[in-house]
Amino acid sequence: MEKMKVNQTLDAKGLACPMPIVKTKKAMKDLESGHVLEIQATDKGSKADIKAWSESTGHQYLGTIEEGGVLNHFIRKSSHDETTSETKYPYTISNEDLMKTLEDNEQVVVLDVRETAEYAFNHIPGAISIPLGELEDHFDQLNKASKTFVICRTGTRSDLASQKLASNGFTNVFNVLPGMSGWFGKTVNFNQ
Q: Which residues are catalytic?
A: 17
Q: What does DSSP say about strands 70-76 and 36-41: parallel, antiparallel, or unpaired?
A: antiparallel
Q: What is the DSSP pairing of strand 60-67 with strand 70-76?
A: antiparallel
Question: What end-to-end distance do the CA atoms of the chain give, in Å?
Answer: 46
Distance between CA atoms of 104 and 30, rounded to whole angstroms?
48
Sheet (strand 173-177) strand order: 92-94, 173-177, 148-151, 109-112, 128-129
Q: How far apart are CA 181 and CA 108, in angstroms?
A: 21
Q: How far apart are CA 174 and CA 190, in angstroms?
A: 26
Nearest to 107 by CA among 141, 155, 149: 149
Strands of 55-180 (E only): list them. 60-67, 70-76, 92-94, 109-112, 128-129, 148-151, 173-177
CA separation for the pair 129, 140 (Å, rounded): 14
